[in-house]
Amino acid sequence: MSKEKKWLSSKETQRAAKIKGCDLMHYRIQGKLDFEKRGNAYFYTEESVKGLKKTQ
């Protein structure tokens, strides 16, 4: 069974992880978040956001 990934927008990710946009960019660059770029927007997997919250 393949589980469908749930994607969160940048704003949703910031609210869920309680971080600022600048921190979000740094975590993305450091490879701490799984992301996908669609046009000019970034979307993050809910699973990676939960993992990030555990390390904070």
Averaged pLDDT for residues 21-50: 96
pLDDT mean across residues, the chain: 92
Report pLDDT for 4.
Answer: 83
Inform me whether the pLDDT recorded for 47 exceeds 60. yes
Domain positions in the chain are 7-55
Inform me whether the pLDDT recorded for 10 exceeds 90. yes
Global confidence as pTM: 0.86
Q: Which residue type does 55 have?
A: T
Report pLDDT for 43.
Answer: 98
Say how far apart CA 35 and CA 7 lie, in whole Å: 8
